[in-house]
Structure 1
């Protein structure tokens, strides 16, 4: 059994329900505001830990009340190892604008994530061993993310990159990725190809051994370096908020691989977990509970 090592951001999510996105210069009233811990790194780490997998999570936070809120939320999640790097910056935050159909747009501030150094990333990734899954996202700098991927690869870990948000070029990093997980828009932005199947194949040509392109209600598709392609349908649910679905998918997918599930089972379980998130509002608050994930895994794998 391997572990899941996650290096990523943690912050506070401010959620606002809107009838539509505002246009330039417009002030638009929303409702159903909310605040909760968040960030792609935090959400993915919590989702992975709630499966029962051994999860190591390192993240940068600020010396402020928001940092204390983040730390308090993380300490109860049962991580095998949790390290908080306190940075001389305000804690990161995101504004999640959720539309009536459940789709969302997100704006983020990430000074703490950007301050995580190459040396910190290398020290984190040096904990990896063969059988471990090392998961990173796009919130850190390209240099720190690359350093972690290279170090983890050299240590024999399986590297998984979810390069959102795309604020630097992911292409140079893909040669150090065993797995890359992107959504439809991210796949197109990286490869320039609108067709998800062609984009997934292009991601493998750029260096990834396995490319997974998530397609929302249409499920996801996977393409590997052997040329094998497969589409995985998603469970049919009444989605009310898709915020956090991708994070749930990545965290559960990584955990299932680390605990010995094959690719097909890991993807199916990750999609089923993401479907639970889609039926609730918020991101952190919508993540499946330990009991829900335990039941989901037991029903689908016999555990």
Structure 2
């Protein structure tokens, strides 16, 4: 079983479903509201655990009702939460609007996630013992960078999802093995909207890049090899929230099992396709048996 450490956020997703997203200064009537456990870190942890990974979650939740629900959701998925600390104050929240085409817009309030500024001995040991470390950018950059550098020092493969997109310090990039931005994040990081061009810029900073393209699949590029485009399964999306995290978490499990990039992407793409056909983020993530059967 693949050992995966996830340093990242845990948020309660407050999701409003609407025919179309409101414009600036506009009010629209929604048809449904849900509270769903989420956060990019927790989502990737749940996806990896359901796909068969041995996952430990490193982060923080608050002392509010959301905190206990977030922890329970991770534990039910099979994630080790011994390093998910409880701190005074509110948990993180994500305020999400999902339209009838399944597209979403998100505002994240860090809450307890903002207190994770450094790694203690237990966190460092968990990272060092893992086969793969998953990182995102919903925690303070200092902790993300420290985790990546700890992983590099112990030969642990590090996969970074640069979301929410922001300037990436060289101290972090120097310790990243695989960068997985979506096409908008790749454009923001490089100034190039064309994925192939963006990938070439990013390869100057990290050895491997995988740019996710939504319905168009993904583009994989590594140094000294030709880029490869992988198509995505054609499905009708109900809610794309969590699809990218499902892809990354499942991909990590497949790579940790020694599958080729092509095999891992195909498996992860199947998982993401199953995810978008159901509402919610972590609640829609498939289990290993469902992915294998897709």
Q: TM-score, normalised by structure 2?
A: 0.94
Task: Give the deviation of 1:20 after TM superposition.
Answer: 2.4
CA distance in 1, matches of 2:119, 2:282: 29
Q: Distance in 2 between matches of 1:61 and 1:151?
A: 23
RMSD: 1.7
CA–CA distance in 2 between the matches of 1:177 and 1:140? 16
Give ranges in structure 2 of 5+ residues lacking alignment.
none
Give the Å deviation of 1:293: 3.1
Superposed counterparts of 1:151-190, under 5 Å: 151-166=150-165, 168-172=166-170, 173-190=172-189
Task: Select between 26-35 and 103-112 the one with higher mean Cα deviation.
Answer: 26-35
Residue aligned with 1:127, SS: helix
Using the TM superposition, give the Cα deviation of residue 182 of structure 1 relative to its aligned residue in structure 2, in angstroms. Answer: 0.7
String of CA shifts for 1:273-298, please: whole Å, max 9, x gaps.
100011111112211134313545xx
**Structure 1 residues 202 and 286, CA gap change in structure 2 (3 angstroms):** same
Which residue is equivalent to 1:32? 32
- Counterparts of 1:244 and 1:195, CA distance in 2: 24
Are residues 1:68 and 2:100 paired? no
TM-score of the pair, normalised by structure 1: 0.91
Give the aligned partner of residue 194 of structure 1.
193
Q: Is the 8 A contact 1:126 1:155 kept in 2?
A: no
Distance, in Å, in 1 between the alignment partners of 2:219 and 2:180 is 10
User: 2-side partners of 1:213 and 1:185: how far apart?
Assistant: 9
- The residue aligned with 2:262 is 264
What's the offset of the Cα at 1:176? 1.2
Give the direction of change, closer, same or farther, for the CA distance of 1:89–1:131 in structure 2 (3 Å limit).
closer
Task: Name the counterpart of 2:253.
Answer: 255
Contact 1:131 1:258 in 2 (8 A): no
1:201 and 1:252 mapped to 2: Cα distance? 25
- Counterpart position of 1:300: none
Task: Give the aligned partner of residue 143 of structure 1.
Answer: 142
Equivalent position SS for 1:60: strand
The equivalent of 2:213 in structure 1 is 215
> 2: CA distance between counterparts of 1:21 and 1:171?
34
1:88-99 → structure 2 map (5 Å cutoff): 88-99=88-99
Aligned mates of 1:106, 1:238 — CA distance in 2: 21
Residue 28 of structure 1 and its aligned partner are, at CA, apart by 2.1
Structure 1 residue runs of 5 or longer lacking an equivalent are 297-303
Q: Deviations over 1:53-79 (max 9, x none)?
A: 211112210011111111221222223
Shift, 1:189, TM fit? 0.5
Number of aligned residue pairs:
293
In the other structure, the counterpart of 1:226 is 224
CA distance in 2, matches of 1:276, 1:43: 15
Distance 2:176 2:27 in 1: 42
Match of 1:133 in 2: 132
Give the drift of 1:129. Answer: 4.6
Deviations 1:3-48 (A, max 9, x none): 1111111121111112222223222221221111111111110110
Q: Determine if contact 2:124/2:150 at 8 Å carries over to the other structure.
A: yes
